[in-house]
């Protein structure tokens, strides 16, 4: 009996592995999804950037996985609590009205810049952990943010770097767009 590629179990497992891979967006919060307010701690001040809600809803419908990665050094500096950050995130999620599953995972890095940190960008740790946990193809992963630390985290994790609304020059490889919806339009 002839064996075709679909009868070969190793090929079939590899085929299933690649089918399970999704495009993943690792997203900064302030200046990428919501208006940047330095050391935001009041949920009443959370304001989505134009077009972000529709763009993320469309990304989820297309099967993209969304991850939130945000530095919140105001916690580490003692200026506000982690609870305040969580309330701001809850308000953002309320405004986004994302269909299930919404964000696959959220990472809040509360450390101040001068303190040793595991997750504070530009650390790639959260990105690498999510790539491994969700069996993601790094070539199909994008770190999107408005700060040099976002781009540096992407480079350190060996994924695609995308700067949005950036007020800095991209060092190394990466793409720059005026905002998140403009970038996502290139993927749809």
**Distance from first CA to last CA of the chain, Å, rounded?**
43
Active site residue 179: no
66 neighbors 57 (Cβ within 8 angstroms): no
Catalytic choice (30, 146, 150, 179):
30
Q: Which helix or strand (DSSP H or E) is residue 36 part of?
A: none
Helix, strand and coil in the chain, % to nearest 5: 40, 20, 45
- Catalytic option among 8, 28, 42, 114: 28
- In terms of Cα–Cα distance, which of 99, 95, 122 is closest to 28? 122
Catalytic residue at 8? Answer: no
Query: If we measure between CA atoms, which residue out of 172, 65, 178, 50 comes closest to residue 122?
Result: 172
- Alpha carbon separation from 108 to 72, 74, 89 (Å, rounded): 7, 11, 10
* Residue 83: alpha-carbon gap to chain centroid: 21
CA distance linking residue 120 with residue 116, whole number of Å: 9
Active site positions, annotated: 28, 30
């Amino acid at each position: 009996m002839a064996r075709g590629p679909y009868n070969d179990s190793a090929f079939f497992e590899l085929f299933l592995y690649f089918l399970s891979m999704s495009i993943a967006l690792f997203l900064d919060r302030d200046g990428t999804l919501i208006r940047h307010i330095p050391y935001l701690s009041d949920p009443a001040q959370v304001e989505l950037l134009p077009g972000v809600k529709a763009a993320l809803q469309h990304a989820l419908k297309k099967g993209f996985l969304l991850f939130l990665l945000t530095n919140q050094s105001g916690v580490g500096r003692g200026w506000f609590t982690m609870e305040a950050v969580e309330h701001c995130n809850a308000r953002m999620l309320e405004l986004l009205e994302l269909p299930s599953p919404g964000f696959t995972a959220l990472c809040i890095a509360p450390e101040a810049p001068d303190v040793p940190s595991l997750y504070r960008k530009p650390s790639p740790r959260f990105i690498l952990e999510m790539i491994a946990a969700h069996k993601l193809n790094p070539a199909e992963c994008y770190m999107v943010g408005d700060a040099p630390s976002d781009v540096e985290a992407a480079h350190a994790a060996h994924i695609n770097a995308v700067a949005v609304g950036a007020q800095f020059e991209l060092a190394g490889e990466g793409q720059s767009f005026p905002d998140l919806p403009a970038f996502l339009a290139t993927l749809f």
